[in-house]
Amino acid sequence: MQNLESPAADSQPPRLIEQSHRTVVYSYGSLLAVFALYALWQIINGGNVVAVLVLLLIKTLPLIIFIPGLRVRRLRTYAWLSFVSLLYFIQSVQTAFTQDAWLYGIVCTLIIATLFCALVVYIRSYRGFYKVSF
């Protein structure tokens, strides 16, 4: 994909592209941090360390794969991350309805919803400004 190549030499990309990119990065990092903090909380409360770490890897590894594409702002990476984030959204909504982890589920649901919306805004504004397709 193309990386921030301006359609005209004197035109600047809209602020919406940068703001949505920043929101994607912050919500993506927040989601990874919440996963790690929840795993740490489970370990502190007497959870099986090996089991908790394996579950943490299962949760985070599919997200970590997207880091190189996000760093260079590949549009296809943003699109695939939006698809994958919907799977995490389904899981977090289900977690929000459990009795023991409802707060964790709600926090994850809000972060993932923010991530998905920021991804959609970034993709649409990027495609509209740079006139590129996937």
Domain ranges of the chain: 15-130
First-residue to last-residue Cα distance in the chain = 7
> If you search the block for the tokens 């594409």, which residue do you land on?
69
63 falls in which pLDDT band (50, 70, 90)? very high
Q: Stretch 3-31: mean pLDDT, rounded?
A: 81
37 falls in which pLDDT band (50, 70, 90)? very high
Q: Stretch 43-70: mean pLDDT, rounded?
A: 97
Model's pTM, two decimal places? 0.88
Best CA proximity match to 127, nearest among 49, 27, 16: 16
26 falls in which pLDDT band (50, 70, 90)? very high
Q: What is the pLDDT of residue 7?
A: 52
